[in-house]
Amino acid sequence: MKTAIVTDSAAYLAPQIAAEYGIIVVPITVIFGQQTYLENIDITSATFYEKMRTTEKLPTTSQITMGQMQQVFDQLIKDGYDEVICIHLSSGITSFVNNLTAYAQSVEGIQVYPFDSKITSAGEGFLALEAARLVAQGEHATTIMPQLAALRSTMGVYFVVDDLSHLLRTGRISNSAAFVGNLLRIKPILSFDSAGQIVALTKERTKKRAFQKVLADFKSAVEAVDYPVRVSVIDGNNPEESAQWVATLTEQFPGMPIETSHIGPVVGVHTGEKVMGLIWSRDYLA
């Protein structure tokens, strides 16, 4: 039995990490006007955010097609794989994983196991890396899928957007009414709910106060569990602030594994530039 792991570009796995773990990354499409770009192939994060600042028509995204997925499956069949676990962007942001679940029934030659990450960025990446680690230990989809669900249940996320207008424009925030009319003067703290939808938790007047609130709530979350935690600092083209968050976390949580990841084009369409966040889970490498 040979098991493959597939994810999408919204996991923001570094290419060398994906290659090292044998994870196949399928790119999501970003659209500026009439131009389409495959994330991380045709457009980098830096170019994307520059275009977002300078282009009148703001970007949108287009989900991976079943044709793209079938090409991946055909190649896996040729390479001798019997099954594939597909870990994808939250169903609260895109209907893709639900479409794939329906399509998987008709795929012949390989067993397809779609998995809804209910998150994005480093959270999706954690799940893909854990799946790959379990495959390397000789496990298969039937035992890996419940372990992914268990890891997903330990995940938490807080993120702070610089400008809520993008989430309102793309309709990816489920309780936006609470914030309309007060956009310019607030820094909302957002999360993903149990359905994988983006929800606004609270708001602060400044980014600094928002970070202090995120830090306090993260500390409470860590203290409430009886297992070691791994955290990733995520940013949308905001390396200086990311470094500050990492330094603060390193000081306050000695010994905790702290990683960095980013928000690239596909998620940046919704969050805008300068977004900052924390994604954490049970430390699956402990």
pLDDT of 192-243, one tens digit each? Answer: 999 998 888 888 888 899 999 999 999 999 999 999 999 999 999 999 999 9
CA nearest 129: which of 28, 232, 27, 50? 232
Which pLDDT score is estimated for 109?
A: 98
Q: How far apart are CA 274 and CA 279, in angstroms?
A: 16
The two tokens of residue 129 are 């890396």
Q: How far apart are CA 189 and CA 204, in angstroms?
A: 8
Which pLDDT score is estimated for 181?
A: 45
Please list the ranges in the chain whose pLDDT falls under 50: 181
Which pLDDT score is estimated for 179?
A: 58
CA nearest 91: which of 124, 60, 59? 124
Are the C-beta atoms of 28 and 45 separated by less than 8 Å?
no
Which pLDDT score is estimated for 187?
A: 86
CA nearest 64: which of 55, 56, 73? 73
CA nearest 275: which of 283, 284, 265, 285? 265
Which pLDDT score is estimated for 193?
A: 92
Q: How far apart are CA 221 and CA 215, in angstroms?
A: 10
- The C-alpha torsion from 32 through 272 and 131 to 133, rounded to 10°, is 110
Which pLDDT score is estimated for 180?
A: 56
Q: Which domains does the chain have, with CATH numbers?
A: 3-28+63-152 (3.40.50.10170), 156-282 (3.30.1180.10)
CA nearest 122: which of 281, 282, 274, 284? 281
Determine phi and psi for 169, rounding to 5 degrees: -65, -40
The two tokens of residue 188 are 């909302």
Q: Which helix (H) or strand (E) holds 278?
A: strand 276-282
Are the C-beta atoms of 200 and 160 separated by less than 8 Å?
no
Going from the C-alpha of 34 to that of each of 43, 183, 234, the distances in angstroms are 15, 30, 30
- pLDDT tens figures, 126-141: 999 999 999 999 999 9
